[in-house]
Structure 1
Amino acid sequence: MDYIEKLGWDDSIQIEKENAARVITVQKNSYRIADGVEEYLAHLSGKFLNQAMTSLDFPAVGDWVEVQKLQDEQKAVIKQVLPRKSQFVRQAAGTRTDAQIVASNIDTVFIVNSLNYDLNVRRIERYILSTYESGAVPVVVLTKKDECTSDEVEKAISQVEEVAIGVPIIAVSNITGDGFDELNGHLLPEKTVALLGSSGVGKSTMVNTLFDKKVQETKDIREDDSRGRHTTTHREMFILPNGALLIDTPGMRELQLWEGESAMDTAFQDVESLAEQCRFTDCGHDSEPGCRVNQALVDGELSEERFKSYLKLQRELAYEKRRQDQKAKLEEKNKWKKVSKSLKSKYKKRNVR
């Protein structure tokens, strides 16, 4: 087996192996890449920077890139990002309409939540939706099992099951190791898993437990309000002892959706299957006769909170789509302004001669 294959190399990648590497760390404009033998500090080529149009064009942790290696200096130049098989994207923090790739070329997403007051099924819904949209498989991991009674654990799992239909739910303890045998069943050699969740839920501690040594700094959740404190400050990929690839990420208090419309039917298959049974295909699920969704709400088959969340996420996605379309139109307009200005400048120079 080639060394690069332990980084998750896929034969569908159309490039010579000696010119390929995988991004394992991103810190602002600095990239650390690996080829299975060596690690290199990398920067983007001038041509790359000139051709990059949006934030989605730039390398993310998990990306395969074409590089020119400077062996003597242990440095490399990134020439292009190779096509991604999956990418977890969110709306970047702030008021600007910008996409941010959290991790790419991932097979599975561990959606990590703690079994305390911070357990939030609405947040888990968002992560599941974005995971399906990314092309990866979701697994919900509930930490701090050692701090709860068995009844509390069962109650929490039951709550999560209502929104995580068909999704594996694993309760673990980073202290006792309980649940890690089941967790390891989703950590396969040469497959990539991303750890996503809020600050302080135990992602970095989980990395340390899987390594059986300290590789990440950790901080506990504050006891007064159960809110987490940031520990991990950048995204980083690790190779676990069993050969699985694990991407640890900084905590996200809020997950603003960037896309997800095509995954609504999977993430909300319970609501969608009810909607298909409505008498009218264009049913608004309000006061129309023969509305199966309304009947399910009356009977308690579908919770009011679940349906409200479904409608809220649909509105949010529609709003985000309008913002993205407006931004795309503005960027296209500005691009042609630059082209026109450049052509006019060249025309004037020719006439001067």
Structure 2
Amino acid sequence: MARVDRGAADVITSDGHHLAQYAAPLRRATVDDPVALPCVGDWAALTRLPEGRYELDAILPRRTAFVRGGVGRDSRGGLSGDSRGQVLAANVDVVFVAEPALHGSDFADLGRVERLLALAWESGARPVVLITKSDLVGEHLAGLLDDVAAAAPGVDLHAVCSVTGEGVEVVRNHLGGSRTAVILGASGAGKSTLVNALAGEEVMETQQVRASDGRGRHTTVHRELIPLSGGGLVIDTPGIRRVGLYEMSRGVDLVFADIEELAEECRFSDCAHESEPGCAVLEALESGELPERRLESWRKLQREAAWMARRTDARLQSEETRKWKVIHKSMRGRGRP
């Protein structure tokens, strides 16, 4: 699927693009499970109706899926965590985490990079970090790359400037053959500009970052799959303001592989790395080997992943209870004890 709208999807078949409406069974199957909703990158089973239009019958099993925790509304109208997830892209081979080189002393939001990498690893795809707009930091680029590399162990890292073309060919090499990539990042990270550079033409609208605060606006308002003339496909996404973790089992551990390795040296196997004697993590913190920022980021994501797991378990238990209540009510209606 190249694009998904409410109740319909733009699908690519052997004879071109077609708009396919969701079949009734598919609509019913996705009422209580947002993760089952069609998304960009999905492969689907279609039926061509006698009048010539297409109907989308089912979503085929996904090879990979980039899922973020949902965002709901609480009783007062504010944002709250939702234990149900939202699929941003499916059947993706590479996740490009686009982090813009910032003005100022920090130059990059390392916490955001770590969060997006956790979801990327969890998806089953291979993450790659791109420092976009690399021309903005001049002589500080080498130090910025070192900082990001420390926050992204085991992940390929590239500096990219889509305007000058620096690094674009390196990014293109990750899309050899028929690989599919998704580009994720905040508004103003230069995702659409990078897509245009990869495509060799302006296929996505772009906007300038606001001079007043350096923030970007949502240029892309929907996820869209774009075939590239040189091979490969890329999915552009709207800027992500909030990324909740969803059913994390290994993503956080892979992002913080350095902390996990240190933890193996702790005196106690269940060490929480708070104040325990013989804690290798705290020793690395005191010696300066482990930055305090990174440990705090690990703690934050661990707490969030555990909270989401509890919310998911509570939701599943509630759904199971509701299902059995319906069954028992139906049995009583038939006169059975």
TM-score (norm 2): 0.91
Do structure 1's residue 142 and structure 2's residue 131 form an aligned pair?
A: yes
Deviation at 1:49, TM superposition (A): 2.3
Choose 220-229 or 171-180, whichever is displaced more: 220-229
Aligned position for 1:276: 264
Q: How many residues align?
A: 324
CA contact (8 A) 1:221 1:227 kept: yes
**Contact 1:239-1:245 within 8 A present in 2 as well:** yes
| Counterpart position of 1:7 | none
Residue 202 (str. 1) matches residue 190 (str. 2): yes
Q: Which residue of 1 aligns with 2:67?
A: 89
Q: 1:64 to 1:267 in 2, by over 3 A?
A: same
The answer to whether the aligner puts 1:319 opposite 2:302 as a matched pair is no
Secondary structure at 1:93 match in 2:
strand
1:226 is paired with a residue of what secondary structure?
A: coil
Q: 1:257 aligns with which of 245, 248, 253?
A: 245
Aligned residue in 1 for 2:225: 237
**Structure 1 residues without counterparts, runs of 5 or longer:** 1-22
Q: Is the 8 A contact 1:205 1:218 kept in 2?
A: yes
Would the alpha carbon gap of residues 339 and 50 (structure 1) be closer, same or farther in structure 2, given more than 3 Å must change? farther
Are positions 1:306 and 2:294 aligned together?
Answer: yes
User: Structure 1 residues 332 and 263 mapped into 2: Cα distance closer, same or farther (>3 Å)?
Assistant: same
User: How far apart in 2 are the matches of 1:44 and 1:339?
Assistant: 29
Candidates 37, 44, 47, aligned match of 1:58: 37
Match of 2:109 among 120, 126, 135: 120
Look up the SS of the partner of 1:98 in the other structure. Answer: strand
1:107 aligned residue = 93
Q: Secondary structure at the residue paired with 1:283?
A: coil
Say whether the 8 Å CA contact 1:189–1:245 is kept in structure 2: no
**DSSP-derived class of the 1:242 partner:** coil
Cα distance in structure 1, aligned partners of 2:10 and 2:202: 21
The code of the aligned residue for 1:85 comes to R
CA shift, 1:260, in A, is 2.0
Once the two structures are TM-superposed, the CA of residue 342 in structure 1 deviates from its matched residue by 4.4
Letter in 2 for 1:97: S
Which letter does structure 2 place at the counterpart of 1:131? A
Alignment partner of 1:97: what SS? strand
Q: Compared with structure 1, are the counterparts of its residues 262 and 166 closer, same or farther at alpha carbon in structure 2 (3 Å cutoff)?
A: closer
Paired residue secondary structure (1:301): coil
Q: Residue 3 of structure 1 aligns with which residue?
A: none
Partner of 1:12: none
- 1:227 is paired with a residue whose SS is coil
Deviation digits for residues 297-326 of structure 1, max 9, x if unmatched?
Answer: 111110111111111111111111111111
Paired residue secondary structure (2:325): helix
Is the 2:168–2:197 Cα contact (8 Å) retained in structure 1?
Answer: no
Q: Secondary structure of 1:237's match?
A: strand
Give the percent of matched residue pairs that are identical in Structure 1 and Structure 2: 39
RMSD: 1.8
Aligned to 1:192: 180
Provide the C-alpha distance between the structure 2 equivalents of 1:258 and 1:327, rounded to a whole number of angstroms: 13
Q: Which residue in 2 is equivalent to 1:181?
A: 169
Return the alpha-carbon distance in structure 1 between the equivalents of residues 27 and 7 of structure 2. 11
Instruction: Determine if contact 1:261/1:314 at 8 Å carries over to the other structure.
Output: no
Aligned to 1:223: 211
Give the letter aligned to residue 34 of structure 2.
S
1:70 offset after TM fit, Å?
A: 3.6
Structure 1 residue 236: Cα displacement? 0.6
Q: Deviations over 1:319-348 (max 9, x none)?
A: 111111111122222233334444555x37
| Contact kept? 1:130, 1:259, Cα under 8 Å | no
Instruction: Name whichever of 283-292 and 215-224 sits farther off.
Output: 283-292
Amino acid at match of 1:137: R
The secondary structure found in structure 1 opposite 2:83 is coil
- Structure 1: distance between partners of 2:255 and 2:21: 38
Residue in 2 aligned with 1:130?
119
C-alpha separation in 2, matches of 1:104 and 1:54:
16
Q: Do 2:83 and 2:311's aligned partners in 1 also have CA atoms closer than 8 Å?
A: yes
CA contact (8 A) 1:114 1:202 kept: yes
Contact 2:117 2:251 (C-alpha < 8 Å) held by counterparts:
no
Provide the C-alpha distance between the structure 1 equivalents of 2:315 and 2:248, rounded to a whole number of angstroms. Answer: 18
- 2:268 aligns to what SS in structure 1? coil
Q: Distance in 1 between matches of 2:327 and 2:2?
A: 36
Tell me the CA shift for residue 37 of structure 1: 2.6
The Cα of 1:71 is off from its aligned counterpart by 7.7
Deviation digits for residues 64-121 of structure 1 (CA, Å, limit 9, x no counterpart):
1111124863x31111111111100001233343210000110100001111147200
SS in 2 for 1:284: coil
Q: What is the letter of the counterpart of residue 15 of structure 2?
A: V
**Aligned with 2:310: secondary structure?**
helix
| Aligned mates of 1:219, 1:343 — CA distance in 2 | 60
Q: Determine helix, strand or coil for the equivalent of 2:151.
A: coil
Write the distance in 1 (CA, Å) between the matches of 2:231 and 2:66: 22
| Secondary structure in structure 2 of the residue aligned to 1:78 | strand
Distance 1:187 1:132 in 2: 18
